[in-house]
Each structure stands twice: as structure tokens, then as C-alpha cells.
Amino acid sequence: MNQISLNPRLRTDITFPKWNGLKSYAVGSALFSSTIIMLILGTLLIQSHPALFANDLNLLSEVWDPAGGQYGIIPMIFGTLIIMSIAMIIALPLGVLSAIYIAETRSDRLKHILKSSLEVLAGIPSIVYGLIGVAYLSIWVAEGFELQTGRVILTAGLLLALMILPTIMTLSEDAISSVPRAYRENAASLGLYHYEIIKDIVLPAAKADIAGAALLALGRALGETMAVMLVIGSLDRLPSPLFNVLASSQTITSKLGREIAESAFGSTHFSVLVLMSLILVAFTLILTIAAQKLFTKDPHNA
């Protein structure tokens, strides 16, 4: 129906544009994005093929020595996982508690100011955070733990926590604020205190979105290169003891940032580095899919 009469006294020749063109554009954009993703995955698989099917590279070892034909990627994977764990252990509680404070105790005007500030923090380039980490954070860690250098796992974890904290706070605040006010009013009418309403009503209703926010922040943490590379050190080995966070280490992203330009295209060294990037992409896709599942979860089935 191309013509709709909105009011007998108004014009009846109002026409609405056809949506076929917009629909085609949206479908084409989705297909284009999907094609780009498939091309990236296909390229990574092709370039990492020699490393995947080589028998003498010792990929699951702890030794990284390209000159000797040793390409153990375990230290980089372990470094990535332990740094992400430190960042999430620090940033998730702080982010959720800060989001509760902003959403439940502040006025709308102050909420707007705080959220605008958080969005600015989330948009700061990672290299700026890295320079701050080198100039201040690494020095504080070195002095606090009496180390020769502050470029250790703990410094990288703290810096990464600082970087993902605005993302967790912003998305968690959105999740808490989206809980219907009727839930709070009904709980208050039953005699619950404010902290009980938050603990027993608001947080359970927003838990899926908060978990999704954490996963999205974790996905961002996976891809950080420059900031982590500046403060983690460059040792291609597992810390001793294993969970010694005051030792230098390496992550997948820092390894790629340091060596991808030094490796010859098509070489075994290059193929192993591409394989590590494929592992990183796999981690990111898993986290993104999990976050989407949580964000799109039916609230009636929660």
C-alpha cells in the first residue's frame, strides 16, 4: 500500500518509499562482511598450512628457536591466557561495582557525564596506554616488588585491566539501567532494602548482559598488541614457577608485533606466526559468539 490517509483533513497523497533497495543494501552488506571474514580465515589457514602439517617443528614444546628449527608456541599461549586472567580478575569486579554505583545511586545528569568520560577512556589508542604503562606503571611495579625491571606479566595484566575497565563499566551500566523500574518498585513494596533489591533483583535480571560485556571486553583484550608489547618483556619461555607473575613473558600479539616483519614471507617462521594469529582469531570468534548468545538470550527463559 503506497498511499495512507493519516487524517481526513490532511493530504492523502503521502507516499512512502519502497524498502526493496534498503533491504538489498542490508543483505549485500551482510554478505560482504561474511565474505571478508571467510577470506581472512581462508588466508590464515592457507598460510599456516605448512606449520600445521609439519612433523619436526615441536609446536607444543616450550622452546622458541627459529634458527634451530624449534617453534614452541606454548609460552605465548600461556602468556596470553594468564594476562587475560589477571586483567579480568581485576577489571570485572571493579567494573560491575562501578556500574552499580553509577546506575543506582547517581542522577541522570551525573550518569551522562560519567558515561561520556568512560567512552572517551575506551577510545584512547592502546599505544597511549602503553606509554603510560612504561612511564609509570612498570616503575611502580619494579619499586613495589624490588625488581630490576617492571616489564613483567603483572604489569601487563594491570595495564590491560585499565584498558578494558571502561568497556565493562559502560556495558554493565547499560545492562543494569535496562532492568525495568517496575522490578525495583515491586521489590521495594515488599520491604526489601536498596542493597537487597540490587543483589536479588537487579543483578540476576542483568547477569546475562553483564557476562556478555565481560566477554566483549575479553575479546578486546585478546587483540591488544602495542600496549602489552611495551610492558611485558620479551622472554619466549614459561615463567618459573609457572604462575610467577613477576617474570617477563610473551603473548601471541606481542610475539606477532615483534617478529612478523622480520620473518620471510612463505618461510616456516612466517607460517608459525600466522598459525598463532589463527589461534588468536579462533579465541576471538569463540568469545564473540558466546557474547552474542548471552546478549540475545530470551529473558523469559533466563
Which parts of the chain fold into alpha helices (H)? Answer: 20-52, 74-105, 108-122, 126-132, 138-144, 153-177, 181-189, 194-197, 203-223, 226-231, 252-259, 268-295
Cα pseudo-dihedral 194, 199, 200, 206, rounded to 10:
110
Residue 127, domain member (yes or no): yes
pLDDT tens-digit series, residues 249-262: 899 988 988 888 88
| Set of cell numbers at residue 25 | 543494501
∠ CA 105-221-172, nearest 5°, is: 20
> What does the pLDDT read at residue 295?
65
Residue 51, domain member (yes or no): no
> What does the pLDDT read at residue 15?
53
Residue 158, domain member (yes or no): yes
Q: Where do we find the cell 546478549?
A: 295
Residue 90, domain member (yes or no): yes
pTM, two decimal places: 0.81
> What does the pLDDT read at residue 35?
94
Residue 36, domain member (yes or no): no
Report the distance separating Cα 174 and Cα 224, nearest Å. 24
Report the distance separating Cα 35 and Cα 20, nearest Å. 22
> What does the pLDDT read at residue 110?
83
Residue 29, domain member (yes or no): no
> What does the pLDDT read at residue 123?
81
pLDDT tens-digit series, residues 3-12: 444 444 445 5
Collect the ranges in the chain with pLDDT lower than 50: 1-10, 16, 299-302
> What does the pLDDT read at residue 5?
43
Q: How much is the CA Rg of the chain, to the nearest whole Å?
A: 25
Residue 258, domain member (yes or no): yes
Number of independent structural domains in the chain: 1
| Domain of residue 112, CATH code | 1.10.3720.10
Residue 180, domain extent: 64-301
